[in-house]
């Protein structure tokens, strides 16, 4: 059985888990969300040649967020770029939709639940 680590696969699994409406599926959906956010952030860093490999391999959401902010310096703003080629009579629109600071906070908190709870 192949387990895809594509961002779209995480979203698909989350939707299925949430539809189950059990406590266990909610926990697993949270884990998938945490991993999906990390995957999305790594997706943005991977093609950047000026980012050290150690930062690209990072797993901590807060550290990935700092690397992305240092690279793009856009905060939570969506960026849209249109590239036109009159010679080819073609146009391409590129979008950068950041993982919002709020979603990063949520993913960080979800990461806290990946450990065995303390007994009280």
- Give the pTM: 0.84
Show the DSSP H helices in the chain as ranges.
7-20, 23-45, 53-56, 61-72, 101-112
Place of tokens 């299925």: 16
Q: Please tell me the distance from the alpha carbon of residue 37 to that of residue 34, in angstroms, as a whole number.
A: 5
Mean pLDDT of the chain: 92
Give the pLDDT confidence of 20-74 residue by residue, as tens digits: 999 899 989 999 999 999 999 999 999 999 999 999 999 999 999 999 999 989 9
Which of these, 55, 44, 13, 45, lies nearest to 30 by C-alpha position?
A: 13
CB of 75 closer than 8 Å to CB of 101: yes
């Amino acid at each position: 059985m192949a387990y895809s680590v594509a961002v779209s696969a995480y979203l698909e699994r989350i939707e299925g888990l949430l539809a189950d409406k059990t406590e266990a599926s909610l926990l697993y959906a949270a884990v998938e969300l945490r991993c999906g956010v990390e995957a999305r952030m790594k997706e943005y860093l991977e093609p950047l040649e000026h980012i050290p490999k150690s930062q690209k391999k990072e797993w901590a959401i807060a550290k990935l967020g700092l690397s992305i902010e240092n690279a793009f310096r856009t905060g939570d703003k969506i960026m849209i770029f249109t590239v036109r080629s009159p010679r080819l009579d073609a146009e391409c629109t590129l979008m950068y939709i950041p993982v919002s600071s709020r979603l990063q906070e949520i993913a960080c908190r979800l990461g806290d639940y990946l450990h065995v709870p303390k007994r009280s």
